[in-house]
Structure 1
Amino acid sequence: MPQPIMQVINASLSLGGRPILDSVNLELYPGEVVALVGPNGAGKSTLLSALCGDEPLESGQILLDGQDIRHRSAKDLAQVRAVQTQESRVSFAFNGEDVIRMGRAPWAGTEEEDRDEEVIAAAVVATESQSLTSRPVQTLSGGEKARISFGRALAQETKVLFLDEPTAAMDIRHQEQLMSTVRSRTTAGVTAVVVLHDLSLAAAYADRVVLLDAGRVVASGNAQDVLTAENLENVYRYPVSVFEHPDHGGLVIIPLRSHLSTQRFREGELI
């Protein structure tokens, strides 16, 4: 087994007196896509923030390359991990290229700075953002802003990628493109942790799925073992159907709507 790049050890955290993370243990390895899934309020985004070093724990540890992240400087962390948050608010009139270029900031004054233009150009192409680079970010749609934000994370060129619901505002094409790009980065040794609500997307691209509920890890493993109807119904408290797609064999997860009776009309009235 390779050595984990990150370890979460008995991590607990409360916000406003409410437990958000409860004794979470997790190991992250180079070259894998890990999807964090679970219902609203399960602790997915908080766990991601803790992994980034942005949300301090009440108890427990998070180790990066064997060292507590609390002992790593902000600049050091920025050279190791890139973060795409759910919302990327830009207050000034930056255009798309300006935002992607921000991903190179941790490398200013280093030898890597010489590669800035090459890396930025590659990030623009990878996110299909050529038509967005000269536009003010405030004029972009939610999905377009997400592509630019992802481009910034790619341009940072770190060995760990943390992405919080990066596909939520995207159309199908760009959802698939983003996850394919994440997959290609992990093939080159990057570790990616992605918060997703689309369970079928998680099943298609994640090497490992971590199912959270009420701040605890309910299950962790491959999609077939974790994303079972029983697990999902227990956690989401809603009936689902889980089946293999007849063409490609990937898991498909959809809500069961059979409890909704067929609408019928009698004498022009809905009954």
Structure 2
Amino acid sequence: MRIANLAGRLVLLAGGRALDVEKASGGRFGPDPMAALEQWQDFHPWTHTADLSGAADFDPSLLGPPVPRPSQIFAVALNYPPHAAEAGYEPPSDPLVFTKFAGCLTGPHATVELSGDRVDWEVELVVVIGRGGHRIPLGEAWPHIAGLMVGQDLSDRHVQMRGTPPQFSLGKSFPGFGPTGPALVTVDEVQDRDDLAISATLNGKVVQRASTKDMIFSVADLVARLSAICPLQPGDLVFTGTPAGVGNRMTPPRYLTSGDVLISTIAGIGELRTTFR
């Protein structure tokens, strides 16, 4: 099932139409998009029985971030070997983890204001936790995952790298620097959850292309390693890392400018279309 945020209301998407969950469930589930995750053990089975005949046409520009207010956002650096290499590092032996702050989240059809002249792109698979837990075993990680989304870890490289030592989180958390969506796609709808084609185009030119099977730390591995330290909560997000092809590693570097259109795609999950000004 595809679960989305349409103008602030929880909906199911099917066949290009949207079903309002509060109305379809007779009030059993509320309109807040966070409600689906707070009640995941009841909500997910209900989606398989929902009467989709009441779905209606909708304006895709009204889609917001499917998970608008997560309690925690984890992000992983250098999780694809070619990206580690282009950045001048050996592949890490442990996940390199930072955070993005929830105020950066936006939807799949966003116009984002540039914070400066060194804003960069990073297409990523985003994991949404459905059932929380602490010290989740590797073999039990996937049942704790509600679904997957496309994400962009937009980064102001000047802010990110200006400190000694640098700190990542603020430079990656300007308003709009976390596009996500277009929907939360539940795990049971993903055909090959560990081998998803991931790509980004800038003004029609491919800048990133890989498969999630190339990640150093798999989705399950990340959930196990993160939960070994931090108890995970329903609705938590994990940005799982970006492939090679980011702008600041090009020769010469290429940063985002006003009018650029960035399309981020993951097979079977969907695409984000982000315009910059």
Q: TM-score band, normalised by the shorter chain?
A: under 0.3
Structure (1/2) with the larger strand percentage: 2
* Structure possessing the higher radius of gyration over alpha carbons: 1
TM-score by length of 2: 0.25
